[in-house]
Structure 1
């Protein structure tokens, strides 16, 4: 099983996700660190992702192999994350066959109603619960 974690800018969110996945899930699960830039990728690799790749083509190619994609919701919004998310990246994530777990971390000028405002740590825990349930992982 492959879990692709996508992040941008400094990679802090992605690093927290990777770290929590490593703690909670079996070691046979591969975690791909996909950064829109090398700083984001490096941060996730330091959190013990199995493989890392950077940039538009790496993301477009790697999400096709993933069973699960975890990222801030902004990944499906072209030009978000200070312009680091390209249209091709967004389209690849939306079109891939993987289960998409999108954390409600979005640009300031967008508001999604009906979402419970939770700290990042709880959002990550909720994401791991979804993975364990969906893929029958104990």
Structure 2
């Protein structure tokens, strides 16, 4: 099983996701750190992802292999993260066959109504629980 964690900017969200996945899931599950830039990839690799890759093409290719793609909702919004998320990246995520888990951390000029406002750590824990339930992982 492959879980692709996608993040940009400084990789702080992605590194927290990778760390929680690594703590909660069995070691045979591969975690890919996919950064829109090398700083984000490096931060996620420090949290013990199995493999890391940087940039548009690496993200597009790796999304096809992933059973699960997880990251902030901005990974499906072209030009978000100060332009780091390209149209090709957002299309690759949306078109991928794997399950997508998007954390509702909204860019400045977006609002989603009807969502419970939770701290990042609780969102990540909910995402890990969802993966465990969906793939029957104890």
**TM-score interval, smaller chain:** over 0.9
Partner in structure 1 of residue 43 of structure 2? 43
Residues 77-116 of structure 1 aligned to structure 2 (within 5 Å): 77-116=77-116
Q: Normalized against structure 2, the TM-score is what?
A: 0.99
Deviation at 1:23, TM superposition (A): 0.3
Q: Distance in 2 between matches of 1:15 and 1:129?
A: 18
Partner in structure 1 of residue 126 of structure 2? 126
CA deviation vs aligned residue, 1:72-102 (integer Å, no higher than 9, x gap): 0000000001110000000000000010000
> Does the alignment pair 1:52 with 2:44?
no
Give the aligned CA root-mean-square deviation in angstroms: 0.3
Deviation at 1:49, TM superposition (A): 0.1
Q: What are the ranges of 5 or more consecutive residues in structure 1 without an aligned counterpart? A: none
Q: Distance in 2 between matches of 1:91 and 1:106?
A: 18
> Which aligned runs of 4 or more in structure 1 are off by greater than 3 angstroms?
none
Deviation at 1:106, TM superposition (A): 1.6
CA deviation vs aligned residue, 1:44-82 (integer Å, no higher than 9, x gap): 000000000000000000000000000100000000011
> Does the alignment pair 1:73 with 2:58?
no
Q: Distance in 1 between matches of 2:51 and 2:65?
A: 13
Count of residue pairs brought into register by the alignment: 138
Partner in structure 1 of residue 13 of structure 2? 13
Q: Distance in 1 between matches of 2:47 and 2:110?
A: 30
Q: Distance in 1 between matches of 2:49 and 2:121?
A: 18
Q: What are the ranges of 5 or more consecutive residues in structure 2 without an aligned counterpart? A: none
Q: Distance in 2 between matches of 1:111 and 1:105?
A: 9
Q: Distance in 1 between matches of 2:133 and 2:47?
A: 24
